[in-house]
C-alpha cells in the first residue's frame, strides 16, 4: 500500500553563467561588463595568480609559512571583492587573497599574516577596519558574519555582510547554525561557498549527499543560487545582486560558486596524492583567467603584446610587495602581552617583566 500525501514544499535551484568554458557569451552581459571594467577584472585576476605564485615560492625558500594558494579560484574572490561596497563588511575564511586585493588591502600586510605576524590582521585600509581577520577553525566566520549582520540591522544601516567558506565548510554545524539564524532573522548577509571540489583530500562527492550545495539555503528558508565560479562576470553579478537585496532588507542569499582547486590545499599538502591527473588537466582547460583572456582577445581588447606588458607590470608590483614584506621589522617579543586585554591585568605583570628582561 502506498499512502497518499500532498506536496507542501517545492524547490528549484538556478544556475547562472554569462561566459562559458569556450569563452563564448551565453546571454547578454550585465551593464557593468564594459570593456574597461572587464579589462580591470582581467588585471585583478592576473595579479592574484602572480601573488599566489610568488607566495608559494617564498614558502619554498623559507621566507613564508604555510600558504593557501587560490589558483583556479581567482574569479570567485575577484568577483566578490568587486561586488562589495566599501561600507559592506567582509568575513573571510583563509583563502581570500583575491577578495582582499580587490577590496584594497595592502598585500605586504597579507603576506605578513602568512609570514607569522599578527599585524597582518590589523588591516590598515580604512574601510576595512571592521572586517574580520582570517578564520582558521572552519566555518566559524559564518556565525560572526551573522552577528555583524544583526548589529547592522539593529542600527538600521543600509549595509551588508559578505562571508565565505569552502565546500568542506558546509558540513560543519556552524554552517547550518548560521544558515538557520540568517533565515530565521532575515539577516543582511550573503554566504558564498567556494566549491572548489576539494576539502584538502576529500572530494565533493563524499562531502555531502546533497545534489547541490546551493540548496542547503532552502533549509534556512532563503534563496540558494549556483553560479559558474570560473566566470568572473557571473560571480560579480550574483554577489552584487545578493548584497543589494540584503541592504534593501530582503534577507540572506547563499551563492555556490562552482570551480576547481588547481593548487594544493596549502603548501603543506601534496594534491598529487589524491587528485586524479586527468581531473586537473580538464580543470585547467576551463580555468577563469584564460577564459576571460580569450574572450577579450576575440573582442580585440587584448593581445599577446598587451599580456606581456601586463606581466611585466605585475612582476614589478609583486617585487615591491615582497620588498615591503621582507623588510618589515619584527614585533618585540612582549607584543604577545600587549593585546590580550584592554589593559594588562595585574597577574601578568611579572611574566611580562620576565620576557622584557630577555629571559
165 touching another protein, by CB under 8 A? no
Min separation Cβ 165 and another protein, Å: 13
Binding-site member from 30, 65, 104, 147 for another protein (CB under 8 A): 147
246 touching another protein, by CB under 8 A? no
Q: For the chain, how are helix, strand and coil distributed in percent, rounded to 5? A: 50, 10, 40
Question: Which of 8/136 has CB closer to another protein?
Answer: 136
174 touching another protein, by CB under 8 A? yes
Beta strands in 118-252 (DSSP E): 161-166, 189-195, 198-199, 202-203, 223-228
143 touching another protein, by CB under 8 A? yes
148 touching another protein, by CB under 8 A? yes
Instruction: Find all residues with CB under 8 Å of 187, minimum gap 6, and list them.
Output: 146, 149, 150, 153, 161, 181, 246, 251, 252
Question: Which of 97/212 has CB closer to another protein?
Answer: 97
Active site residues: 261, 265, 274
Binding-site member from 102, 149, 238, 243 for another protein (CB under 8 A): 149
Binding-site member from 15, 274, 284, 339 for another protein (CB under 8 A): 339
84 touching another protein, by CB under 8 A? no
Each residue of 37-51: b (16+ CB within 10 Å) or e?
ebbebbebbbbbbbb
Rg (CA), the chain: 22
Question: Which of 35/249 has CB closer to another protein?
Answer: 249
Min separation Cβ 78 and another protein, Å: 25
Helices and strands in the chain, H and E counts: 14, 8
Binding-site member from 16, 83, 146, 255 for another protein (CB under 8 A): 146
307 touching another protein, by CB under 8 A? no
Binding-site member from 126, 209, 300, 345 for another protein (CB under 8 A): 345
CB-based contact 221:10 (threshold 8 Å): no
160 touching another protein, by CB under 8 A? no
298 touching another protein, by CB under 8 A? no
104 touching another protein, by CB under 8 A? no
Q: Which residues pair with 34 in a beta bridge?
A: none
168 touching another protein, by CB under 8 A? no
137 touching another protein, by CB under 8 A? yes
Count of CB atoms situated within 10 Å of the CB of 270: 11
Min separation Cβ 186 and another protein, Å: 13
Question: Which of 118/353 has CB closer to another protein?
Answer: 118
Give me the DSSP letters along 40-107. HHHHHHHHHHHHHHHHHHHHHTTSS------TT-HHHHHHHHHH--TTSEEE--S--HHHHHHHT--H
The contact mask relative to another protein for 114-133 (x = CB under 8 A, - = no) is ----xx-xxx-----xx-xx
CB-based contact 98:48 (threshold 8 Å): yes
184 touching another protein, by CB under 8 A? yes
Instruction: Find all residues with CB under 8 Å of 51, minimum gap 6, and list them.
Output: 97, 101, 107, 318, 321
145 touching another protein, by CB under 8 A? yes
Q: How many angstroms separate the CA atoms of 124 and 73, rounded?
A: 26
Question: Which of 118/270 has CB closer to another protein?
Answer: 118
Min separation Cβ 352 and another protein, Å: 13
CB-based contact 174:140 (threshold 8 Å): yes
Q: Is 154 exposed, middle or buried (0-12, 13-18, 19+ CB in 10 A)?
A: exposed
Interacting residues toward another protein by CB under 8 A: 91, 118-119, 121-123, 129-130, 132-133, 135-137, 140, 142-152, 154, 173-174, 177-178, 180-181, 184, 335, 338-342, 345-348
Amino acid at each position: 500500500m502506498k499512502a497518499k500525501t500532498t506536496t507542501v514544499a517545492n524547490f528549484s535551484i538556478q544556475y547562472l553563467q554569462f561566459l562559458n568554458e569556450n569563452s563564448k557569451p551565453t546571454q547578454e552581459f550585465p551593464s557593468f561588463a564594459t570593456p574597461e571594467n572587464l579589462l580591470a577584472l582581467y588585471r585583478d585576476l592576473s595579479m592574484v595568480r602572480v601573488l599566489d605564485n610568488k607566495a608559494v615560492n617564498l614558502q619554498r625558500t623559507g621566507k613564508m609559512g604555510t600558504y593557501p594558494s587560490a589558483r583556479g579560484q581567482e574569479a570567485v574572490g575577484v568577483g566578490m571583492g568587486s561586488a562589495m561596497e566599501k561600507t559592506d563588511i567582509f568575513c573571510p575564511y583563509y583563502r581570500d587573497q583575491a577578495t582582499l586585493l580587490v577590496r584594497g588591502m595592502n598585500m605586504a600586510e597579507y603576506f605578513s599574516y602568512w609570514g607569522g605576524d599578527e599585524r597582518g590582521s590589523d588591516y590598515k585600509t580604512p574601510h576595512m577596519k571592521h572586517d574580520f581577520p582570517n578564520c582558521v577553525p572552519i566555518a566559524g566566520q559564518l556565525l560572526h558574519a551573522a552577528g555583524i549582520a544583526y548589529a547592522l540591522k539593529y542600527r538600521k544601516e543600509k549595509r551588508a555582510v559578505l562571508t565565505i567558506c569552502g565546500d568542506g565548510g558546509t558540513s560543519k554545524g556552524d554552517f547550518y547554525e548560521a544558515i538557520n539564524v540568517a533565515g530565521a532573522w532575515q539577516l543582511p548577509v550573503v554566504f558564498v561557498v567556494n566549491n572548489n571540489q576539494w576539502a584538502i583530500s576529500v572530494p565533493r562527492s563524499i562531502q555531502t549527499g546533497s545534489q547541490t550545495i546551493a540548496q542547503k539555503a532552502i533549509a534556512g528558508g532563503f534563496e540558494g543560487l549556483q553560479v559558474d565560479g570560473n566566470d568572473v562576470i557571473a560571480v560579480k553579478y550574483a554577489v552584487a545582486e545578493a548584497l543589494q537585496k540584503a541592504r534593501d532588507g530582503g534577507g540572506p542569499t547563499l551563492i555556490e560558486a562552482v570551480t576547481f582547486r588547481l593548487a594544493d590545499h596549502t603548501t603543506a599538502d601534496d594534491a598529487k596524492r589524491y587528485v586524479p591527473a586527468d581531473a586537473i588537466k580538464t580543470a585547467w582547460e576551463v580555468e577563469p583567467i584564460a577564459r576571460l583572456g580569450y574572450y577579450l582577445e576575440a573582442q580585440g581588447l587584448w593581445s599577446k603584446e598587451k599580456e606581456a606588458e601586463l606581466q611585466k607590470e605585475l612582476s614589478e608590483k609583486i617585487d615591491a610587495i615582497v620588498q615591503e614584506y621582507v623588510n618589515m621589522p619584527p614585533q618585540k617579543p612582549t607584543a604577545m602581552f600587549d593585546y590580550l586585554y584592554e589593559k594588562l591585568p595585574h597577574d601578568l605583570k611579572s611574566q611580562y617583566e620576565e620576557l622584557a628582561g630577555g629571559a
